[in-house]
Amino acid sequence: MIAADFGFGLVVKNLLSPTHILSIVRVDMIVPIMLMLITRKIVDRFGILILYEGVWGLFSVFAMPAAFGLPGFLKLIPALSQGIILDSLMSLLRRYHRIRFFISAIWGGFLSSVAFFGLRLALGYPWVRVVQLLFGIRMLTGLLVWACGATLALSVWEKIKDTQMVRRIVHAGGD
């Protein structure tokens, strides 16, 4: 799943980058959100998304110099914080199958974006009027993107939950 997420990002980000649409709407995040949520649902243990994001972050250190707009190993901070936030929300909402996807995705996306933007401000990103406006627009569009990712994840989960491969993975984990 991590390799699919990373490969998807390498292709889609490079295709959409010249349009500058990713500065406003992170449409490239719908599939990665789905992959994260499905991974967590299949292996429903705390720490899976922290590991997922940590490995993704390490890949990005070496292969995606522009990821997160941060240099080198600083990319691991927002990646791991996103993993911690999403893992925590998925664990807290374990009883609520369908709602869990949406609340984890939307609140997780919101909190991760705030944490990431806070890091950028701490590193000297200017808090001027245009940055504030773009941050607000990106937060609003981000909520829609995360909701779309959760919808896609729920749809995919409904299709794969009874497959032999998923049942084997779930039962191997003791559930």
- The residue among 38, 61, 59, 36 whose CA lies nearest residue 49 is 36
CB 34 within 8 A of CB 149: yes
Confidence of residue 174 (pLDDT cuts 50, 70, 90): low
Q: Is residue 84 part of a domain?
A: yes
Query: For residue 90, what pLDDT is reported?
Result: 94
1: exposed, middle or buried (C-beta count within 10 Å: 0-12, 13-18, 19+)?
middle
- What is the number of domains present in the chain? 1
Q: Is residue 85 part of a domain?
A: yes
Average pLDDT of the residues of the chain: 89
Query: For residue 111, what pLDDT is reported?
Result: 92
Q: Is residue 50 part of a domain?
A: yes
Confidence of residue 51 (pLDDT cuts 50, 70, 90): very high
Instruction: Please list, residue by residue across 22-40, b when 16 or more beta carbons sit within 10 angstroms of its beta carbon and e when fewer do.
Output: eeebbebbbbbbbbbbbbb
Q: Is residue 12 part of a domain?
A: yes
pLDDT digits (tens, 9 = 90+) for 121-165: 898 888 899 888 988 998 999 999 999 999 999 999 999 999 999
- The residue among 5, 10, 2 whose CA lies nearest residue 63 is 10
Q: Is residue 139 part of a domain?
A: yes
Query: For residue 173, what pLDDT is reported?
Result: 63
Provide the percentage of residues in the chain whose pLDDT is more than 70: 98
Q: Which domain holds residue 128?
A: 2-18+29-172
Q: Is residue 23 part of a domain?
A: no
- In the predicted structure, residue 21 carries a pLDDT above the cut 60: yes
Q: Is residue 24 part of a domain?
A: no
Query: For residue 13, what pLDDT is reported?
Result: 82
Confidence of residue 23 (pLDDT cuts 50, 70, 90): confident
CB 116 within 8 A of CB 81: yes
Q: Is residue 113 part of a domain?
A: yes
